[in-house]
Amino acid sequence: ANATPDVHKTGLYPHVRYAVRSRVRLRRWQSNLNAVYPGKLDHKIHTYTYNTGGAPIPAPYAVRGDIVNALRLVLPTFNHTDQPMSPQLSKASVLTGFAKHPPPHTHRPVDVIHLWNAEDTADAGNFRSMVSKTLNKLNGKMIYPINETQSAAPIVRGPSLTPQRPIVASTKIQGNLGSKGRNGVDERYVTALLSAKIVVVTQRDEWEDHYRLFEAMAHGPLVIHDAMLAAPVGVEDGKSIVFFHNITDLRRKIRYYLQHEEDRMVIAQNGWMIAMGRHRSWHRMEGIIFGCPLTGVF
């Protein structure tokens, strides 16, 4: 951003391209509405487009190589399910070196996690703290599983003799905090993402993008994410991710996807393929240089 004044004045740099993590501004939690205001596209985008070689290229956090390497080390310690693989997942698993045990087919004893301290009062964290408080209240609540094959909690008979079990939810921080956590790898973090059926990811106020979006997808759970105004390529609600719009919507969708394993697995598998097939680190560089990812795309 500091290098742009000359470009704005002269408009003589048609080959200059800008890459930005977030193209959205003014995104924030509105407690009076119990919802997130999605913000709007940055007005500077039009200036960049007029004076340079094109609009800024979206470059959100990608799946780093060290995360995948750690995933390869931890994954064999988990049991895998015997569910059949679709031809698309089978091909993607071979291309990424996970042919014998693709992450989406990992046995996941924890129902849902959101890696944020509910008592954290840091700036721009009010919404995330509320989400964690919601998950803490869900922990231990009874749910009626439908055709469920993975569970850490015992299934019991309720008053109406309907099978039910308690939800297993966690908001415990796993690994390091801050930049050390964002830029390093901790086995506890990898283990947590592999253990959960659902990973809830929420963004900070005034910002759209989170490094955990594709890191979570790369581990194979269903990712439930607060709604985005400009979602990355391939991130589609109900296909590769599930967006929620308020706390009530979040609770409803967590319960639905815990009860409907087949629906959850389809979206989780699609999310894993999008993360590994279009959002690796080299895909970001190819997108900036060539305009689209080229290597190992599926």
Pairing of strands 163-166, 156-157: antiparallel
Convert the pLDDT of each residue in 203-261 to its tens digit: 887 778 888 999 999 999 999 999 988 899 999 999 999 999 989 999 999 999 999 99
Percent of the chain with pLDDT over 90: 54
What is the dihedral angle through the alpha carbons of 86, 87, 89, 93, rounded to the nearest 10 degrees?
130
Three-state secondary structure along 124-188?
A: CCHHHHHHHHHHHHHCCCEECCECCCCCCCCCEECCCCCEEEECCEECCCCCCCHHHHHHCCCHH
Query: Which residues make up the CATH 3.40.50 domain(s) of the chain?
Result: 65-286
Q: What is the pLDDT of residue 283?
A: 96
Cα(293)–Cα(287) distance, integer angstroms: 5
Q: What is the pLDDT of residue 234?
A: 95
Q: What is the pLDDT of residue 1?
A: 43
pLDDT: which is higher, 43 or 160: 43
CATH of domain 65-286: 3.40.50
Confidence of residue 66 (pLDDT cuts 50, 70, 90): very high
Kindly tell me if the per-residue pLDDT of 293 is higher than 70. yes
Convert the pLDDT of each residue in 72-107 to its tens digit: 999 999 999 988 889 999 999 999 999 989 999 999
Q: What is the amino acid identity at position 9?
A: K
Cα(32)–Cα(25) distance, integer angstroms: 20
Confidence of residue 7 (pLDDT cuts 50, 70, 90): very low
